[in-house]
Chain A
Amino acid sequence: MIPAPFEYLAPTTVEDALAALAEHGDDAKILGGGQSLLPVLRMRLNAPEMVIDLGKIESIRGIRDDGDAIVIGAMTTHAAVGSDPLVAEHAALVSKAVEHLADAQIRHRGTFGGALAHADPAGDLGAPALALGAQFVIAGPGGTRTVEADDFFVDLFETAIGEDEILTEVRIPKHTGWGAHYEKFVRVAHQWPIVAVAAAVRVEGGVIAEARVGLTNMGNTPLRARGVEAALVGVQATEDAVREAAGKAADGTNPPSDLNGESSYRKHLATVLTRRAVVTAAGG
């Protein structure tokens, strides 16, 4: 289907983009890589009068080392993130999640910041970002602010980004030397995950010293499985030992029911996938 007519603007600076956003307000939509917005427009589930394309803003594209964190520009494509050696070394969980995110075409068009700002609860980036304690740098009319991952995901498709703001960068604290794995359960390839689990662990002498576990599509936002994280500390990095801790993965969650699975099924999946993710992350 063909989208309703709209005006198009492609500013080259964040300031210009913010100005355009301020001018058009509710009638404007921000275009990142277009992998979620364009289908919405084509379905006519939205018909903004103005589309502001961030694709020409070079300053928010690319990956850099910033001491204790890796900084990923919002307009960096998934493919660029997935092939980046810095990310692989210091934020391996992100590399793993991107590896099987959607399909190759989408990975080359879709953007890291766009997917996070879109905040689809089944999106693959939320859980790793949450698990690694990412910080979201958001530019607005009053300057730039930084939002912690715990505060970023507010609700279904709703983030801390205000109507007049733009996500510019995501800072991911370095987790150098941590094992990581993203375990995703799909019925067909490159489907949205029915449930997925992002796990990063630091193993010392065969024992898990620290663990971070994020859940995808187990609620309206990505979730941290803090109960599992706590239970994993001091546990041998073996399947049997991890199993008990992983059993807590669905505690306190209220996952959706849909054609792909009932809520109870998702809860079960979460425990199984958590076990697999943690064991793999720990190198077991």
Chain B
Amino acid sequence: MDLSHSFTVPTPVDATWAHFQDLGALAECFPGATIGDYDEQNFSGTVKVKLGPIALLYSGSGTFVEKDDQTHRFVVDAKGKDKRGNGTAGAKVTLSMQDADGATDVQVLTDLNVTGKPAQFGRGVMQDVSDKLLGQFVACLEKTLSEGPAEAPAAAGTQSVAGTSAGDEAQGEPAVVAASPAASGGEAPTATGGAAPAAPAAPRPAVSRPAATEDDALDLGAAVIPILVKTYGPQAAIALVIAVLAYLAGRRR
């Protein structure tokens, strides 16, 4: 199954490219994620996913099979496995960046292969797991990438959300999970000490737009693309691993 997505970030292409080289920093944007060993070529890590009754721990690894600093393009082969052996997934992610008048257009192509055990829920719920996860990841990345003085007031407003957002707008973006592990170490962008990553309600400086190519009728595409559209970088590999396991899990009724 092939998926295609693209998005634009407001930083110059070289800066964006540089940011994507720092796997450790990127991983901090992933709630529950840890990057284990990594070097120029390989990385490994784990991601903890929690949604309602589900709590999963995936471990995975990836390899940069191609990386071109000149054309700003890389290809990652990633595979992941649930800690308890419920399934495996593989993804080949090709990411390329192009200058767009000082901003950066990012294009991501993903080829997914999955095996595993499905689960029984009212709907393809595991897609929603990846949805939540990716939503947080992207929001955090956008914040990190567009970091600047203007960020401070916005950040103050990003905390309250979960739990109080039931209101009349039940349909918005997935709310951020309240208790994400302390994710803002390292180059923590703002002074909200110990704060969780930015909620999606935070202003979104980056422009995301869906790309239309998807030749497969499988519902993973339909459900996950809107999120993946906004996904960044090599950590997308890990994310996709989850999305894929998730997809499988969601299919059985």
Taking Cβ atoms with an 8 Å cutoff, the residues of A that contact B are 1, 4, 29, 36-37, 39-40, 43-48, 118-123, 150-158, 160, 163, 191-193, 217, 219-221, 223, 252-254, 256-260, 262
Contact = CB atoms under 8 A, between A and B. Distances in A.
Nearest to A122: B122
Given A156-B125, A259-B251, A46 B53 contact: yes
Nearest to A156: B128
A160 B128 contact: no
5 contacts: A46-B55, A47-B84, A151-B166, A154-B163, A220-B174
B165 interface: yes
Nearest to A121: B122
B69 to A, nearest CB: 39
**Interface of chain A: mostly helix, strand, loop or mixed:** loop
B117 interface: yes
Contacts of A191: 253
A282 to B, nearest CB: 26
B166 A150 contact: yes
Contacts of A254: 171
B86 interface: yes
A36 B82 CA distance: 21
Q: How large is the interface on B (under 10, 10 to 19, 20 to 34, 35 or more residues)?
A: 35 or more
Interface of B: 51-56, 82, 84, 86, 117, 119-125, 127-128, 132, 162-163, 165-166, 170-171, 174-175, 179, 219, 222-223, 249-251, 253
Contact of B123 (A39, A151, A152, A217): A217
A46 B54 contact: yes
A156 B166 contact: no
Nearest to B117: A43
A284 B230 CA distance: 49
Contact of A39 (B51, B55, B119, B162): B119
A219 B84 CA distance: 31
Nearest to A263: B222
B219 A157 contact: no
A258 B124 CA distance: 7
B220 to A, nearest CB: 10
A163 B165 CA distance: 18
Contacts of A47: 55, 84
Contacts of B119: 39-40, 43, 45
Nearest to B85: A44
A253 B171 contact: yes
Contacts of B249: 43, 45
Contacts of A119: 52
Nearest to B122: A122
A254 B174 CA distance: 12
B253 A192 contact: yes
Given A47-B84, A150-B166, A257-B223, A118 B124 contact: no
Contacts of B162: 154-155, 158
B92 to A, nearest CB: 25
Given A156-B128, A256-B124, A258-B123, A118 B165 contact: no
Residue picked from A122, A154, A223, most chain B C-beta under 10 Å: A154
Contact of B53 (A45, A123, A223, A257): A45
B223 A256 contact: yes
Contact of B125 (A44, A150, A157): A157
